Structure 1
Amino acid sequence: MDDKRYTLKVGELIMLPSGVYHQNEVVSRPEARFIGIHFDFFNELTIQTEADMVVNEETIQLHKFATEACAEGMTPLSATPVYSPSSAAVQLMEQLVHEFTMRPPGYELICKALMLQLLTHLLRSPYLNSSRHVSVHGDKLRELMKQIEDAPSEPWTNTGIAKQMNLSIDHTAKLFKQMVGMPPNEYIQSIRLREARKLLRETDCSIELVGIQSGYPDIHYFSRTFRKHEGISPREYRKLSRML
């Protein structure tokens, strides 16, 4: 980008401003998976298909480039394009993709609200990651979060997490809130629902088995929880995701 090469590691994010020449190359093996969002924050463009975002280099129309969303008093995201987003930021991106894919009533407003939260997380990341604000328990907490993501079906509880951290439940919740943007129980719920959505989209497992593998051994509780957060039942979600 701009004649400079950036190498991204797993979990990193790059901000590609509108109107900037760039080329992406996947060099990892055996594969790489991405979450990508093209976002017109000020509703300047009419995007119907992927082709609407591709620029004809022979007839460049500068007025059709979207404007970067910036916050007064904060450095634009494009100034330092590579970020290590928090788990909360990654979840916001996943929610964005989910809303735009499913397009329930009011999805455009929800997408803009989620994008505003995501921008705030990224703009604040240099401040939150400074040495003054990194907890001495940060590495241990990040490892614990990875364990939850790798094994969402385990019986994770606030008490168990606090015990692993060797801290009080209140202190652990405070650290979680500071680093992730949500308390432990909400984080666990979000990871389990993310796993459930993935299994519903990508496998033919029964709804009961999806629930068990996601951390919901009671199929009725799983169905109620899924509907509460996603607006539709697991079965309806699977059918709709495959239609789209």
Structure 2
Amino acid sequence: MIETDLQFPKQRQAPFRDWSPSIHYAQYQRMPKGPLAERRIYDFELLYVCQGEAVTIMQGKEYKLTTGQLIFLPSGVWHRNEVLTEPDARFLGIHFDFFDELDIQRESDIISDGDEVEWERFATEAVCDSFPPLSHQPVYTPTLDCVQLMDQLVHEFTMRPLGYELACKAIMLNILTHLLRLPVSRARSYSSQHAQKLKEIIEQIEQHPSTPWSNKMIADQMKLSIDHTAKLFKEIAGLPPNEFIHTIRHREARRLLRETDMSIERIGEQVGYSGIHYFSRLFRRHEGISATEYRKLSKVL
């Protein structure tokens, strides 16, 4: 079989009960400004832009990505990514397949070598009658709920607690559901006259978690009552303002523990908690282990 005989991505009509995604890679990463090498992958990737701007050239089209957007990169399709912002951009990448059909032992197994292509290994995209294929329109702006699920997936894949494979499969199915439903949910979520302003505030919270955010501060920016603002906030973000702020701070704290050598006290300050004891208590409540133990485990695994 030669390349010109194949159509990528390969697709398979399958009921939802047959969808069984396996996760091959789930990590945050920074990439410096500039183009990356053209490539194609044996599995599928969700590449989410946490901070910065990027562009993907794929099948003769250019897809511009800004903070808060992701692109669905299909199996077998040549593409080239380029970071546009100085000095770098931050991403969350998830590699997976739909039917648990690939055996990936190391990251190098994901990339198709141009000289030694194993055509039968290219994974198959699951499609159904209810939604268009994810590859039909590859750029998405996921909901905040979906972004939190992606972060949860990275956490499970990194820490690998007992039963993490099952947890990753369940979380990935939930992520795929969010993306498939996105056109409908977007129309519903942002119909309010205040929703765009609130969405901008939510993005500010994600980008600047150390700001002393409060219900009153958010309500003042919205020029609405505290109770009405909190109700709108929960409708869009899925959590009340205080819970959402804590979630974002905790997510950033986990990232800093994994990716930096900053002290525990400095990390607490960086994410918005002035006292190390308060931060340590909150972290243990969320994770069941101390921040120091979390850092040690993440380095080992």
Query: TM-score, with normalisation over the residues of structure 1?
Result: 0.85
1:201 maps onto 2:253 in alignment: no
CA distance in 2, matches of 1:9, 1:62: 33
Structure 1 position 55 matched with structure 2 position 79: no
Contact 1:211 1:218 in 2 (8 A): yes
TM-superposition CA deviations, 1:177-236 (whole Å, max 9, x none)? 332233322211111102212332344443233223323334334223212322321011
Answer whether contact 2:140 2:179 (CA < 8 A) is retained: yes
Which runs of 5 or more residues in structure 1 are unaligned? none
User: Which fold has the larger relative contact order, with Cα–Cα distance below 8 Å and residues 6 or more apart in sequence?
Assistant: 2
2:157 alignment partner in structure 1: 100
AA aligned to 2:286 is H
1:18 corresponds to which residue? 75
| TM-superposition CA deviations, 1:22-56 (whole Å, max 9, x none) | 22233433222221110123211111101211224
RMSD between aligned alpha carbons?
Answer: 2.6
AA in 2 matched with 1:125: L
Q: What is the aligned partner in structure 2 of residue 67 from structure 1?
A: 124
Match of 2:177 among 112, 120, 130: 120
The number of residues matched between the two structures is 244
- Please show how residues 177-216 of structure 1 align to structure 2 within 5 Å: 177-216=234-273
What's the offset of the Cα at 1:132? 8.4
Q: Is the 8 A contact 1:128 1:134 kept in 2?
A: no
Report the counterpart of residue 168 of structure 2 in structure 1.
Answer: 111
Give the distance between the partners of 2:74 and 2:124, measured in 1 at CA: 8
Q: 1:203 to 1:132 in 2, by over 3 A?
A: closer
* Alignment partners' CA distance in 1, 2:62 and 2:220: 44
Q: Which residue of 1 aligns with 2:187?
A: 130
Greater strand share, structure number = 2
Secondary structure of the corresponding residue to residue 30 of structure 1:
strand
Shift of 1:80: 0.4
Counterpart selection for 2:224 from 161, 167, 189: 167
The one-character-per-residue Cα deviations of 1:84-118 (angstroms, maximum 9, x if unpaired) are 22333222222222221221212112212221222
In structure 2, the gaps of 5 or more residues are: 1-57
Q: What is the CA–CA distance in structure 1 between the aligned matches of 2:272 and 2:140, rounded to whole Å?
A: 31
Q: Which of 140, 143, 151 is the equivalent residue of 2:200?
A: 143
| Equivalent residues of 1:41, 1:112 under 8 A apart | no
Matched, 1:81 2:138: yes
Instruction: Measure the CA separation in 1 of the matches of 2:128 and 2:240.
Output: 27
Structure-2 separation of matches of 1:186 and 1:178: 13
> What is the Cα deviation at residue 169 of structure 1?
4.3
Task: For residue 229 of structure 2, give the secondary structure of its aligned residue in structure 1.
Answer: helix
SS at match of 1:29: strand
Distance 1:205 1:34, change over 3 A: closer
CA 1:232–1:41: 2 relative to 1, 3 Å: farther
CA distance in structure 1 between the aligned counterparts of 2:183 and 2:259, rounded to whole angstroms: 36
Select which of 277, 285, 290 maps to 1:220.
277
Q: Structure 1 residues 114 and 158, CA, compared in 2 at 3 Å: closer, same or farther?
A: farther
Residues 17, 159 of structure 1: alpha-carbon distance in 2 compared, 3 angstrom cutoff: same
Deviation at 1:123, TM superposition (A): 1.6
Task: Give 2:288's aligned residue.
Answer: 231
Identity percentage over the alignment? 61
Give distance in 2, aligned partners of 1:155 and 1:12: 26
Deviates more, 1:198-207 or 1:182-191: 198-207
User: Which segment drifts farther, 99-108 or 180-189?
Assistant: 180-189
Asked whether 1:32 is paired with 2:81, we answer no
Supply the distance in 1 between the matched residues of 2:127 and 2:218 (Cα, whole angstroms): 37
Structure 2: how far apart are the matches of 1:53 and 1:103?
20
1:14 Cα shift? 0.7
